[in-house]
Amino acid sequence: MQALLTEEQLKNAVITVQFNRMTDGDRSLLLDRINSREEVDVRAAGVIINFSLSITAGKDNPVLKLDRFKQPLIMTLNVDAAVNKDLIGMYLISSDGLIKYIGGTTQDDKLVADLTTNGVYGPLSYDMSFSDVAGTHWAVPVLKLLAAKHIIEGTGAAQFAPDKPITRAEFAAMIARSLRIEATGHTETTFTDVEAADWYAEAIMAISEVGIVNGRSASSFDPRATITREEMAAILLRAYEYSRGKGNSGEAVAEFADQASVSSWAREAVAEAHALGLIMGRANGQFAPQSQATRAEAAQLIARMINA
């Protein structure tokens, strides 16, 4: 505000906060526009409001709308008790039905989120179904959760390819989205196989800046290569520690039947991730450390990290 007004004007300044609730009819029309754009079942989970923060320096002075807030404002809205809380998020909604995920956390029957701009906001239920994932598939609840948080995306035509091996770039993107980390640009990547125009470049830059992911060499990230289960465990543990702090203080011991086949560099990370409940084994108590991880397995591990 100091950048907009002089010190004298600030003395008489008046800040106005407006919450205008959208009518049920207008809300229905807006939801129709949203669903015409999305291959998802989007429903209102509460009231939709037009939020506006403005300031005036006093009588006969123009009203200045604050388009961006230097410090986020916390908004709390009631949400419908009957709606699946895992699918609810706060969204910034344009008049043509374009939505931007803001996030937020549910506390009882309320959604709390940080706002950084004026606009139309509302809690929406975002229920994604992938055409190649049967309703009985074990990963359905996980995929719906991560899709609602905009952590995972399909592969086109509303498909997810759950049994397809996940690449290092895809997993990096999932980690970056789950932690909502963006690249600062303060550190230049040394990965010669990651171009600035690549869809995954910013995600790899973001999590490499904070030490969550390393390359397969000093100069190569190998983004299109499939990721192994032990690599995934090591990255997941670093992501958990970045967001939550160190895990167990004692020495963790994994109980996998094939623990001896885990690479020496990954052994401690696999044991720690297992102790924290972030990873699980496959059949017969095997971890299969060098096996390729599937997209569904990766999604499940991300969900475990979020809920840990």
Instruction: Report the SS3 class of residue 63.
Output: strand
CA–CA dist 5, 89 (Å, integer)? 35
> At residue 5, what is the residue type?
L
Instruction: Report the SS3 class of residue 77.
Output: strand
**Percent with pLDDT over 70 in the chain:** 89
> At residue 120, what is the residue type?
V
Taking only the tens place, the pLDDT of each residue in 260-279 is: 999 999 999 999 999 899 99
Q: What is the mean pLDDT of the chain?
A: 88
Count of C-beta atoms within a 10 Å radius of residue 33 = 16
pLDDT of residue 184: 81
Taking only the tens place, the pLDDT of each residue in 65-100 is: 777 787 898 999 999 999 999 999 999 999 999 999
pLDDT tops 90 at residue 230: yes
> Can you give the residue ranges of every domain in the chain?
7-126, 140-307
Task: Say if residue 87 is exposed, middle or buried (CB neighbours under 10 Å; 0-12, 13-18, 19+).
Answer: buried
Mean pLDDT of 228-232: 95
* Most confidently predicted of 10-19, 78-87, 280-289: 78-87
Task: Give the pTM.
Answer: 0.87
Name the nearest CA neighbour of 143 among 182, 86, 98: 86
